[in-house]
Structure 1
Amino acid sequence: MKTTLSIIAVLAAATGSLAQNITIPATNGSLPKAGANGCAPGYYPGTDTVIFTVPYTYQQVLSIIGNYTNLTWSGSSANSVTTNNSQALAANNWTPGSARFYDIAGAHVIETITTYSKPANGPYVEIHTVAPLSIPSVNVSFYSDFDGQVWKPICNGAATWSNFTINFCPTNATTAAAVLHQLHTTDAMTVGTFLGGKNFTSCGVLAGGNGTATPSAFGGANGTAASGPSATASPMAYTGDAVGRVSNVLLMAGTAAVVAFVCSSI
């Protein structure tokens, strides 16, 4: 919850206030009514955060992530994402209520913007909902009323810091947290890969002209599920096999969740 509040603070500074009265698509895009635990019956509350820094400028990062329907950096093939807002598509100017639709790893995904800000000098702020979906390969379903990301320049503009925070309601909190943590970590790393593959250690090292040491990737789930750091992982290059790439991520995350469950039971 603390991390979520920190993102909201960034949003308030960037946009003045959070968007209100957002209309979620009524067909297959609505969120279930919350129960006593904050989630629909059979779902349980969870949250996960990934923080990652790449040694590239905010403008370079924006060239990769700045189009809401271009998710090649997140494992979708080019031109595979559609939207309900053709006007925003033409102008690349996304507004609350804009939804995107895509299929990946056996899941049909509907994500609807609630807050969106893309100033030229940062920070980039995007918050959307995720309609209920199922991932067959790891036997988990979930939905989210807050799936947010912030990208902002640091190191006098030489690097870009990111925060991916999601509050979600899954059928299995441990598995869903592991999957989402791995996906968001890989997403952030892939942005760096697309821009040249250098890794970040510190502003001082970067100022000295060497940005190629161990990447800065840390974070974890807070609350109902655990997910460990990924400080030494290597960036995954996008090869064009979007579904295969995501399937590999899901397999790794699902395996990690099973191992964590077994170890906690011993």
Structure 2
Amino acid sequence: MTMPRWTREPLVHFLIAGALVYAFFAWTGGTAVDPSSRVIDVDRNAQAELALQFERTMGRSPTDAELDAQIEQYVRDEVLYREALRLGLDQDDAIVRRRLVSKMDMAAGAAAEMAEPDDATLQAFLDDNKERYQTALNSSFDQLYFTDKTAAEAALGRVLGSDGWQGIGEAISLPPTMKSASQRDIRAQFGEEFSGVLAALETGEDWRGPLRSGFGWHIVRLRERSAGETGFDALRQQLSNDWRSAQVAERKERAFDLLRDAYRIEIDR
């Protein structure tokens, strides 16, 4: 008999193993649970695991009394867990269902969470997602200031096609020219309204306006706009984290798609 395609996928084998581990041993630290057993064996390995969990939480090893308390809590949890299984409380429980679904997702993405991509992998990820790592747009522009909108409109007609624009505007303590200025810098100098309208303009040799700021009115010439980028070395850790997250999400979806192929879905409409 020919086995379905999905049964030959290594990822499916991994998920099946993960399902068995998480579904049946989820709250036992890796030890199989037999609800009919009346023996709870807290061996040296179990005690060492409890001590390690305490150390991870508290940042130090437990005292003898603290370890005894951890063991007592473990025994209490184990007794209640086994009794819950005997009563079937794990069945048709939305919380338990969600927990197992979450653990299956974790099983699918576990390998990716530990992966360490090399620089070539990160560079390829950066190339494919360059827009995510661009800084805010930088703008180079000239501006002339006027207290009155009508004066700004009149000046716009005079300055078009003229090279002697510097002496046309009114005096103010704002830079007539800004080069490769970030949106933050422009907003700090001219205000939110001005920076927002400037960001919507297209570059060119023509003057435009009037644009309003907190000071009055401006006509502007947006000469250049560029998107800055942070260097690879500065981005390496962020790229590594983002790449790993993308891999986890991709593996979860691929695992689900493979497993879903084994089911016939019937939905009443």
TM-score bin (small chain): under 0.3
Whichever structure has more strand as a proportion of its residues is 1
Whichever structure has more helix as a proportion of its residues is 2
Task: Specify the structure having the higher radius of gyration (Cα).
Answer: 2
TM-score by length of 2: 0.20
